[in-house]
Amino acid sequence: SEAMATMKGTFKTGTLRGEKKLEKKKLEVPYGGKVGKPYYKFKKARNDKIGGAELKEQLKTWVDYGVIEADCAKALSDVCDNPEWLDLSEHYFVLLGATSAMGPLPLLLSLGANIIAIDIDRESAWSKIFEMVRNSPGTVTFPIKGDVPGGKSLKDLSDAELAKISGCNLLEDTPEIANWLCEICPEKNLTIGNYTYLDGALHVQLSLACDAIISKLADKRPDLAIAFLCTPTDTHTITKEAYEAIGAAEKVAPLWQKLSPMTESNLLKPVATEAGEEIYIVDGVAAAQGPNYILAKRLQHWRAIIERSKGHAISSNIAPSTATASVVHNAQFAAAYGGMHLFEPIEVMYQETSNAVMGALLIHDIRNTKAYSYPAFKLNNPLQLFEHGSFHGGVWRCAFKISSIGEMSAVAYYLKTYSLQISAGSAAFGAAVMWLFTGKAGL
């Protein structure tokens, strides 16, 4: 806190404008899957887009099956019905971790948004950002940490030259980033989103750095809106309808799931408030993700609650389990995701779908001033902020805790994927045993 208050350093500023013309848009979501089926069966259709009546029908299917909550479907339908919300040419978004796989950068640029990008001072990252901007109707404003080559001004630099000197380090340059952001576009209303991630303890450190930046910016800008992506693998308050759906799912779950020593009931006893109301809870915490992950997410929840109490709009919706390249690169996670559809109503999404729906929910939360994201929408408990607009992928309505189905999902996936090899191996083993005891080959 002392460093944030006393250090006065900042950065030079660069700006790039897209070369495409902003066209009228309608909400379209890339999705080619089907509830109750393994997501990987629809890989070829992952970029097929649905919109309008088809999208609304899919939203209804997701609600009915238990993949999303009803108010999430309502929010996405509202974006469908208000295409003018998709013109972001007058909106400014600060993206901490701009190139994050789960971040909204490509979507926002395609809608003409003005992006203030914070990302690592690495040439490859900024080359990617600049290429995206050039092929869009949006703009990007960014910090320049490095020295401008001798004899040149910023406007004379090529994109390749700019990429070598752009960016900053959230862990090392935290006060300077906050100072720079406080000076950028002072006459504009900003939305700042934290989309950062690192493995292990670095994730907590990164969350603390982003928290310090957001806190300082929120104090300086009373109209600041703040965005986070929540994870379904966390503890959340849920609606009574979701709670009852867990109980119903438990009654009809397959016997092999009920009798497994691995599965654990998702139905938790409600918590009674002093006013006599009941708050329903789901425990989605996955121990395999480690304590650092959940602590980093908790820091984000705390910041969201504090700043909403001060009058800031907060967009903090829950994203579904998503088959990003970094996740499915791990064979164990890939196998678990491959079998989770057997535990209804779990549905894993491809990254394209998750990016589209979460970006649309962000737009809804900013553009719809009557939404749950604004403090005027009253909550009985601050934690219920995260109860609204949830695209949890079925975690809130599954009969069993998400943390207890991973191993069984993986085993089911392996059995189905390698059934032929397992059968052949079993036959060969049987033949070998017969030969060992009888000296004759099996039939």
Q: Could you tell me if 305 and 385 are in contact, meaning their C-beta atoms sit under 8 angstroms apart?
A: yes
Q: Could you tell me if 65 and 72 are in contact, meaning their C-beta atoms sit under 8 angstroms apart?
A: no
Q: Could you tell me if 311 and 373 are in contact, meaning their C-beta atoms sit under 8 angstroms apart?
A: no
Q: Name the nearest CA neighbour of 109 among 84, 85, 91.
A: 91
Q: What is the structure's pLDDT at 60?
A: 98
Which helix H or strand E contains 250, and what residues bound it?
Answer: helix 240-252
Q: Average pLDDT for residues 250-259, to the nearest whole number?
A: 95
Q: Name the nearest CA neighbour of 249 among 408, 395, 44.
A: 395
Per-residue pLDDT tens over the stretch 294-313: 999 999 999 999 999 999 99
Alpha-carbon span 139 to 257, nearest angstrom: 51
Q: Average pLDDT for residues 379-391, to the nearest whole number?
A: 95
Q: What is the structure's pLDDT at 427?
A: 47
Higher-pLDDT residue of 8 and 134 is: 134
Q: Name the nearest CA neighbour of 180 among 171, 193, 167, 161.
A: 167
Q: What rounded mean pLDDT belongs to the chain?
A: 92
Confidence label for 443 from pLDDT (cuts 50, 70 and 90): very low
User: Which residues, listed in sequence order, are joined to residue 50 by a DSSP beta bridge?
Assistant: 29
Amino acid at 191: T
Q: Per the structure block, which two tokens stand in for 167?
A: 């960016």
Per-residue pLDDT tens over the stretch 176-202: 999 999 999 989 999 999 999 999 999
- State the Cα torsion 396-400-402-406 to the nearest 10°: -150
Q: Per the structure block, which two tokens stand in for 170?
A: 């959230």
Percent of the chain surpassing pLDDT 70: 94
Rounded to a whole number of angstroms, the distance between the first and last alpha carbons of the chain is 77
Per-residue pLDDT tens over the stretch 20-47: 999 988 999 999 999 999 999 999 999 9
What burial class does residue 225 get, using C-beta atoms within 10 Å of its C-beta: 0-12 exposed, 13-18 middle, 19+ buried? Answer: buried
Q: Starting at the edge strand that comes first in sequence, how are the strands of the sheet with 92-96 ordered?
A: 12-17, 139-144, 114-118, 92-96, 190-194, 225-230, 314-318
Q: Per the structure block, which two tokens stand in for 16?
A: 């790039």
The per-residue b/e assignment along 237-275, b for 16 or more CB within 10 angstroms, e otherwise, is bbbeebbebbeebbeebeeebeeeeebeebbeeeeeeee
Confidence label for 421 from pLDDT (cuts 50, 70 and 90): low
pLDDT higher than threshold 80 for residue 326 = no
Q: Average pLDDT for residues 217-239, to the nearest whole number?
A: 96
Q: Name the nearest CA neighbour of 28 among 82, 80, 105, 102.
A: 80
Q: How many other C-beta atoms are found inside a 10 Å radius of the C-beta of residue 155?
A: 7
Q: Name the nearest CA neighbour of 234 among 69, 396, 400, 410.
A: 396
Alpha-carbon span 202 to 206, nearest angstrom: 6
Alpha-carbon span 179 to 11, nearest angstrom: 9
Q: Could you tell me if 399 and 265 are in contact, meaning their C-beta atoms sit under 8 angstroms apart?
A: yes
Bridging pattern class, strands 92-96 and 28-30: unpaired
Helix axes 52-65, 70-81, angle to 10 degrees: 170
User: What is the per-residue DSSP string for 55-93?
Assistant: HHHHHHHHHHHTSS-HHHHHHHHHHHH-GGGG--TT-EE
User: Which residues, listed in sequence order, are joined to residue 316 by a DSSP beta bridge?
Assistant: 228
Q: Name the nearest CA neighbour of 373 among 384, 385, 363, 382.
A: 385
pLDDT higher than threshold 90 for residue 417 = no
Residues in contact with 53: Cβ distance below 8 Å, sequence separation at least 6, in sequence order: none
Per-residue pLDDT tens over the stretch 257-272: 999 999 999 999 999 9
Bridging pattern class, strands 278-283 and 139-144: unpaired
